[in-house]
């Protein structure tokens, strides 16, 4: 995981084009819209300069649309890599403030990355991780690269790279981790 946000307007355009390409193929039109809103808000919150100030203003009503119509709650200052996929328009997807998402993360509907009260801290999700429908990652845990979290998986501890986690609470399938 290298870059966690587009730093310039030119990078924003490149990242949004990549996002649109993968979301059109894997998630549909609403997914393109949801990720575009996330990227504009992210650029406004994390970058600097006049373009970032405009993005901050534009992002406010767009975030309201994402939250009210799609139920997609992702903080504007999210540290997130490239080619984020929010399947089915990111319906019900929730990401807590302070979480980190790597490159090529796919989040199915109602996937959650959140805090585990009272333990402080937010999850760190590696590159090329798939979070199935209703999958939940809670607390200061790290999910390794190339991990697969099945539908309704509840992850409360670190997962190694290549792990396949299924169930509530999640169990790692034997031999799935690299």
Instruction: Write down the pTM of the prediction.
Output: 0.91
Is the pLDDT reported for residue 176 higher than 70? Answer: no
* Predicted local confidence at residue 64, as pLDDT: 92
* Predicted local confidence at residue 5, as pLDDT: 87
Q: How many CB atoms lie within 10 A of CB 97?
A: 12
* Predicted local confidence at residue 27, as pLDDT: 80
In what side-by-side order are the strands of the sheet with 100-101?
79-80, 100-101, 124-125, 142-143
Instruction: Please provide the CATH number assigned to the domain covering 9-172.
Output: 2.160.10.10
First-last CA distance in the chain: 18
pLDDT tens per residue across span 8-38? 999 999 999 999 999 999 888 899 999 999 9
pLDDT tens per residue across span 87-107? 999 999 999 999 999 999 999
* Predicted local confidence at residue 4, as pLDDT: 86
pLDDT tens per residue across span 136-174? 999 999 999 999 999 999 999 999 999 999 999 988 987
139: left (phi over 0), alpha (psi -120 to 50) or beta: left
The alpha carbon dihedral of 114, 149, 152, 91 has a sign of: positive
């Amino acid at each position: 995981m290298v870059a966690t946000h587009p730093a310039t307007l030119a990078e924003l355009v490149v990242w949004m084009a990549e996002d649109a390409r993968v979301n059109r193929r894997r998630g549909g039109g609403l997914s393109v819209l949801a990720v575009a809103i996330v990227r504009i808000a992210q650029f406004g919150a994390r970058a600097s300069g006049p373009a970032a100030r405009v993005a901050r203003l534009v992002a406010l009503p767009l975030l309201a649309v994402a939250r009210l119509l799609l139920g997609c709650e992702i903080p504007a200052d999210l540290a997130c890599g490239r080619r984020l996929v929010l399947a089915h328009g990111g319906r019900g997807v929730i990401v807590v403030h302070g979480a980190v998402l790597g490159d090529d993360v796919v989040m199915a509907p109602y996937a959650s990355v959140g805090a585990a009260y009272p333990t402080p801290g937010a999850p760190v999700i590696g590159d090329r991780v798939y979070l199935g429908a209703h999958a939940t990652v809670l607390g200061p845990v790290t999910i390794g690269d190339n991990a697969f979290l099945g539908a309704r998986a509840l992850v409360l501890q670190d997962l190694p790279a290549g792990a396949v986690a299924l169930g509530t609470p999640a169990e790692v399938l034997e031999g799935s981790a690299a």
